[in-house]
Amino acid sequence: MVSAKFLYGVTLEAPWPEDALPRCRVPHKLPVVLSATEVSEFFQHVCTIRYRAALMTAYGAGLRVSEVVALQIGDIDSQRMLIRVRQGKGKKDRYAMLSPRLLEVLRCWFRSQHPAGQRPKTSPEDWLFPGWRKGRHMNTESLQTVCREAARAAGLSKRVTVHTLRHSFSTHLVENGTDIRIIQVLLGHSRIETTARYAQVSPQVVAVTVSPLDNLDRKARGKGKK
């Protein structure tokens, strides 16, 4: 658009009508979100503790699938109850929340891999969710496959991916009254507009919002008393 206007206006010195090149409207679709009941049912159908821990991390901390699989043992800060996300989208580091329940799930997963008395020496740089190949972390596609299979086994009609769990995390925080700016930081969004769309998704937020129609008589009575 800018190049075409420069060509006509500067190079050719020809008039440029404002509606010469109408912009194509891109369809805006709201993300798929699971209810709390659906999330609970979903986790009950995840096949192994390995994948359950990884998917619970996606939902419990609002992480992207690439961020989940790339977590290292040293990224789990149980003292401050934080998860360090290294080089997330946009090559930015950030901190995500570590809930007590998620910490317990991750500890159970760690103990299953390193039983007491047989625990080898681990390094903070070791992968939290190692892959089957030595020295590699869990594959994103395998986690996505398990996610789809669990949704199918749970009888969910929605199209569920790992990112759906991140959407659900954000929407449920909105429904619980969490400040949108806090959610923005947790998700690693650079623009508040990106985070604000979750307020549009939440039916609970819509349902409890008071219509100005309901306030008409109340405001009229208030003016009459003055």
Domains of the chain, first to last: 36-114+121-203 (1.10.443.10)
Active site (annotated) includes residue 64: yes
Mind listing the pLDDT tens digit of every residue in the chain (226 residues)? 556 555 556 565 566 566 656 565 555 567 788 999 999 999 999 989 999 999 999 999 999 999 999 999 999 999 999 999 987 676 788 899 999 999 999 999 999 987 766 656 778 889 999 998 888 999 999 999 999 999 999 999 999 999 999 999 988 888 888 888 888 888 888 788 777 777 766 666 666 666 666 667 665 566 555 5
Element (H, E) at 120: none
Q: Sign of the C-alpha dihedral, residues 153, 157, 163, 169? A: negative
- Selection from 65, 67, 37 nearest residue 154 by Cα: 37
Active site (annotated) includes residue 198: yes
Out of 45, 137, 148, 163, pick the active-site residue: 163
- Selection from 65, 33, 13, 40 nearest residue 167 by Cα: 33
Out of 45, 137, 148, 189, pick the active-site residue: 189
Active site (annotated) includes residue 89: yes
Q: Are 68 and 26 in contact (CB under 8 A)?
A: no
Out of 64, 172, 218, 221, pick the active-site residue: 64
In this prediction the pTM is 0.75
Active site (annotated) includes residue 163: yes
Out of 89, 137, 148, 197, pick the active-site residue: 89
Please give the Cα distance from 166 to 64 (Å, whole number).
7
pLDDT digits (tens, 9 = 90+) for 82-124: 999 987 676 788 899 999 999 999 999 999 987 766 656 778 8
- C-alpha dihedral (157, 161, 167, 168), degrees to nearest 10: 50
Active site (annotated) includes residue 91: no
